Amino acid sequence: MHNPPPAILLEDVRLTLSSVAGPVNILNGVTLSIAAGETVALLGPSGSGKSSLLMVAAGLETATSGRVTVAGVDITRMGEDGLARFRRGRVGIVFQSFHLIPTMTALENVAVPLELAGIADAFDRARDGLAAVGLGARTDHYPGQLSGGEQQRVALARAMAPGPAVLFADEPTGNLDGATGAEISDLLFALHARGQSTLFLVTHEEALAARCQRIVRLKDGHIVADARTA
Amino acid sequence: MSRIALALRLARREMRTRLAGFRIFFACLVLGVAAIAGVESLSTAFLTGLAEQGRTLLGGDVVVHLVHREANADELAFLKKRGRVSQTVSMRAMAYALKNGAEAERNLVELKAVDGAYPFFGAVSLTPGLKLPQALRCEAGVCGAVAEQTLLDRLDLKPGGLMRIGAQVFRLNAVLNSEPDRISGGFSLGPHILVSTEAVARTGLVMLGSLIDYNYRVVLPAQMTPQQFKAEATAAFPDAGWDIRDRSDAAPGIRRFVEQVTMFLTLVGLTALAVGGVGAGQAVSAFLDRKRSEIAIFKSLGADGGLIFLIFFFQVMAIALAAVVTGLALGALLPFAVEYAYGSDIPAPAHFALYAGPLLLAGAFGLLSAVACAVPPLARARLIAPASLFRDLVAPADARGALPYLIGAGIAAALVAGLALFLAPSPLFAAEFLGGAAAGLVALRLIAEGFRWLLRRLPRPRAPVLRLALANLTRPGAATTGVVTALGLGLTLLATVSLLDNTIAAQVKDRLPDTAPSFFFVDIQPDEAARFDAAIRRFKSAADYRRTPMIRGRIVSLKGVAAKDARIAPEAKWAVSGDRGITYAATPPQGTVIVDGQWWAPDYRGPPLISFDAALAQGMGLKLGDKLVLNVLGREIEATIASLRKVDFTTGGQNFIIVMSPGLIDKAPHSFLATVRVDGRDEEPLYRAVTDAFPNISTIKVKDAIAQVNGLLQQLSDGVRAASLLTILSASWFWRAPSRRAAGAGFMTPPRCLKCWARRGRGSRRSMSSNTASPAF
């Protein structure tokens, strides 16, 4: 029986950044394999390297050494333009601060990754995506005219619209109040279930992490625990 | 193509944001483009006017010009066989007002005698509105004349008043308002007066060797072109020594002046674009700084660096295009504004219209400048890492990807410079101007970088405000370098234009030495030379009196090559462009400085030798032993350069570029030129004594001539002031940009600096989160 390749495979990944005070070692030999369709939460204290690990896995940052394979593609040596093109349609990212483009409507924000991926009916699919997050009536609203929760819904619709193989979420409820955060969490897992993508979630909330199939704990750039949830 | 369409679509959406930071970029481009479009349009209007009215300005299809002598019978027959001919005779003379039968005021005049056919084209405007032949008619020993109002004022005469020129009495029948061919006549030292050719013959001033210009205007039949006429005339009379001008270039002096002023003002416009360009580059940088977050978002969603570049390039170029179109509209209106404001006061003919060529040129300058200024910061923007969405500390991007863009910007800048050089009538001057501007830019950049380097090494002050200011000046991304460069370039340009303005006046006022003569006397006849010498020497204060033989001739060939085909430096071309004064001397005239070769022996009577102006010789590539051919009174004389002299034209005295050895030239009919310096109190008595005793001699007061030149320079100075205004406007727009950014660079008072710093902090925090950002429409 042939095993499908992992959705994310990190092999002895190290990340060192230079600063005025000297080099900063952020990831110190991380090895991690995440199967396709799996939901994984990455937990750890501030400064442990969670967001950096997500960035390396999402191709937003290039590892100093080691090997990174995402959706079966080795992205370790890709240049920044190559990584950008790789992300099109394959990778969706949800940010803690939403990062919508303020000059574009909700519909246009959701359509951007579809347009970048060269999808012809980008706006029809974007409209469907917004309907799926309950914002079918707010397509022409600008981010400034939406609440925080609504903006994160738009961000979720934008990340999921191209049907990515992997969905990365960096503290998706970090900027929201409890009730809104819970709504977004529900939506996140519902969309994941519908799209059958792999979910790699960075959070510091144990409750949110517990909804994933697996929890990986990071400290000082090292994985210190990797366990399946009950 | 779909990539470009996508970039255009995304750029259009992105442009919904406020473009407040682009006001400076917009204003600089509008100003630069409007200046170039306006200057070039105005220039085209004048050059078109000159070309269209060439026949009127020239007074015919061709003008055959002879100096010292009339056309002989054969030459005249040749001209009359080819078309209708009108003759005019021009000279300088003294006019004396006659009051109660006695001579009163007198003045130098530019006299033009015309025949009955004059003018072939256009009309002479007189007040009262008489016909010209009627106004110039001779009756009962008195001939009619018409003169400019200035002469009537100076002679204190009214229309109908009497005056004398030479031996002839004239009645001033009308005021001369305008002549159709006036501007093709060149520089005037006195008021213009028209008389008939019959009358000028009666003055007794027309003598062999006198400085008289004979012009024959010819109207050619339709089947003959001016070029054919010139070819036939040259073939029939190769030694005539005449100068033939045609309707296609009726007023070469005016055309050259318009072209030179256009080049200067276009270069000033380009420099204004360069000054604005530095500001424009900073405006684009600031804009992209505000867009860092959006750029990172685009990248995280899959936009590569090339697409990012295109999105923001299209935005910047859309603003540039709007600015260029606005500038072109303003520039296109300038000729009409000039026509509205000055109308009939404009001294040269102009055809005010909308001209596509100048607008295309200015548009190209504007867009290429925008590309040159905007692309470098845009190229850096494509390197913004998407990881910056998460934290400030990111791995540096590979800057090598920006190189093609920087090369592209360099090509755009080179095209601007190349276009300016290609179109300039004097590429060397344009190259020096542009090279100077570029060198200034580099020098200022180095000074700015040195300033930052120095500041970084200063000990940190204990006062928090000063510490903060110093830190802001040296922090990464501070506008210090740009501000210093911009202020420096703006000030340099202002200082240059202001100095130029002052220098023009200073050249005449300050550099004319105290030893400059008080008078020039022209057309002293050989038989009256001794009497004239005595008349001058009667004045005790008379000093530096020099009387020199003078004859006019032209250089027709150099080292066997025709003057028109010879390679001559632009600054030396004037010497072969027409007749020049030639003298002869057995011994070096007083003050002669020989820099090469030797003067001929006092008793030398061999083949003609020349002592030539050393600076002109260099410009013409001449050296000792080279041969020149001169045409004097229709006869060609070959002479060898025996020595080179330093000729200083700033002395204000007699300066001949050609001094010949006696033996041949002294046999030609000629007159004398004299100069003398007297005390102020003797000036008027000497003037009266000479003009009373020698009515045929033209007496030029140097003070009056200088005043005339100063008037012209004043007009030129006004043009330079207009250029100054342009640069001041450009620089002031530019300075508004850094003044706003100065808080970041530490160029503000401490309290304002702190407030701005606080605002900057809030702005930075706000820009990191899109949830508070709102669109602006």
**pLDDT over 70 (residue B157):** yes
Give the tokens for residue B92: 């300088």
- Pick the residue with more confidence: B348 or B351? B351
DSSP bridge pairs for B634: none
> Minimal Cα–Cα distance from A99 to chain B, Å?
6
Give the tokens for residue B476: 């990464």
- How distant is the alpha carbon of residue B467 from its chain centre? 51
For B381-438, the DSSP string reads: HTT--GGGGT-S--PPP-GGGGHHHHHHHHHHHHHHHHHHHHH-SSHHHHHHHHHHHH
- Pick the residue with more confidence: B703 or A5? A5
Task: Please tell me which of the candidates B307, B396, B774 has its beta carbon nearest to residue A142.
Answer: B774
Strand order in the sheet with A198-202: A91-94, A166-170, A198-202, A39-43, A214-219, A222-228
pLDDT at B741: 44
| Residues B610-644 as b or e (16 or more Cβ within 10 Å = b) | bbbbbbbbebbebeeebbbbbbbbbeebebebbbb
In this prediction, residue B329 has a pLDDT band, given cuts at 50, 70 and 90, of very high
**pLDDT over 60 (residue B635):** yes
**A164 in contact with chain B, both atoms CB, cutoff 8 A:** no
pLDDT tens digits, B547-583: 999 888 888 899 988 887 888 887 788 888 777 889 9
Please, where are the H alpha helices in B517-630?
529-537, 614-620
**A200 in contact with chain B, both atoms CB, cutoff 8 A:** no
Q: What is the pTM of this model?
A: 0.68
**pLDDT over 90 (residue B244):** no
**A17 in contact with chain B, both atoms CB, cutoff 8 A:** yes
pLDDT tens digits, B73-102: 999 999 999 899 999 999 888 899 988 777
DSSP bridge pairs for B520: B675, B700
Q: Which residue is closest to A104 within chain B, CA to CA? A: B13
In this prediction, residues B375-401 reach a mean pLDDT of: 68
pLDDT tens digits, B677-700: 888 888 888 988 888 888 888 888
In this prediction, residues A122-135 reach a mean pLDDT of: 92
Q: Which residue is closest to B14 within chain A, CA to CA? A: A103
Q: For the ranges A41-55, B498-512, B553-567, B617-631, which has the lowest average pLDDT?
A: B498-512
Task: Please tell me which of the candidates A108, A143, A145 has its beta carbon nearest to residue B13.
Answer: A108
Which range is most confident: A42-56, B23-37, B251-265, B345-359? A42-56
Helix axes B252-290, B480-509, angle to 10 degrees: 160
pLDDT tens digits, B165-214: 988 999 999 999 888 887 766 667 788 999 999 999 999 888 776 778 89
Residues with Cβ < 8 Å from B324, sequence gap 6 or more?
B29, B33, B362, B363, B366, B367, B370
pLDDT at B667: 82
Task: Please tell me which of the candidates B14, B386, B772 has its beta carbon nearest to residue A103.
Answer: B14
In this prediction, residue A198 has a pLDDT band, given cuts at 50, 70 and 90, of very high
In this prediction, residues B611-638 reach a mean pLDDT of: 89
Tell me the pLDDT of chain B averaged across its residues: 80
Please, where are the H alpha helices in chain A?
50-58, 80-87, 106-116, 122-132, 148-160, 178-195, 206-210
**pLDDT over 60 (residue B724):** no
pLDDT at B749: 36
- Pick the residue with more confidence: B87 or B434? B87
Cβ–Cβ below 8 Å for B14 and A101: yes
pLDDT at A212: 93
pLDDT at A199: 93
Cβ–Cβ below 8 Å for B389 and A60: yes
In this prediction, residue B145 has a pLDDT band, given cuts at 50, 70 and 90, of very high
> Minimal Cα–Cα distance from B330 to chain A, Å?
32
In this prediction, residues B342-371 reach a mean pLDDT of: 84
Q: Which residue is closest to A152 within chain B, CA to CA? A: B771
**CA-to-CA distance for B183 and B186, rounded, in angstroms?**
6
Q: Which residue is closest to A15 within chain B, CA to CA? A: B395
Q: For the ranges B120-129, B179-188, B597-606, B659-668, which has the lowest average pLDDT?
A: B179-188
In this prediction, residue B502 has a pLDDT band, given cuts at 50, 70 and 90, of confident
**CA-to-CA distance for A162 and A113, rounded, in angstroms?**
7
**pLDDT over 60 (residue B736):** no
**CA-to-CA distance for B290 and B286, rounded, in angstroms?**
6
Q: What percent of chain A has pLDDT over 70?
A: 98
- Which three-class secondary structure string do you get for B189-223? CCCEEEEEHHHHHHHCCCCCCCCEEEEEEEECCCC
> Minimal Cα–Cα distance from A101 to chain B, Å?
6
pLDDT at B740: 46
- Pick the residue with more confidence: B506 or B112? B112
- Pick the residue with more confidence: B52 or B89? B89
In this prediction, residue A141 has a pLDDT band, given cuts at 50, 70 and 90, of very high
Measured between beta carbons, the chain B residues lying within 8 angstroms of A60 are 300, 385-387, 389-390
In this prediction, residues A35-49 reach a mean pLDDT of: 92
- Please, which residues 98-117 of chain A have a Cβ atom closer than 8 Å to chain B? 98-104, 108, 112-113, 115-117
Please, where are the H alpha helices in B610-701?
614-620, 680-693
Task: Please tell me which of the candidates B13, B16, B770 has its beta carbon nearest to residue A99.
Answer: B770
- Pick the residue with more confidence: B508 or A46? A46
Select from A46, A62, A80, A175 the residue whose CB has the most chain B CBs within 10 Å, as the one to mutate to test that interface.
Answer: A80
For chain B, what's the residue count?
777
**B387 in contact with chain A, both atoms CB, cutoff 8 A:** yes
Q: Degrees (nearest 5) of the Cα angle B410, B415, B418? A: 120
**CA-to-CA distance for B750 and B753, rounded, in angstroms?**
5
Closest CA relative to residue B666, chosen from B599, B547, B585, B590: B585
**A118 in contact with chain B, both atoms CB, cutoff 8 A:** yes
> Minimal Cα–Cα distance from A109 to chain B, Å?
10
Select from B1, B8, B770 the residue whose CB has the most chain A CBs within 10 Å, as the one to mutate to test that interface.
Answer: B770
Cβ–Cβ below 8 Å for A99 and B297: yes
**B305 in contact with chain A, both atoms CB, cutoff 8 A:** yes
Task: Please tell me which of the candidates B298, B299, B395 has its beta carbon nearest to residue A62.
Answer: B395
In this prediction, residue A58 has a pLDDT band, given cuts at 50, 70 and 90, of very high
Place of tokens 């318009």: B258
Task: Please tell me which of the candidates B300, B393, B768 has its beta carbon nearest to residue A60.
Answer: B300
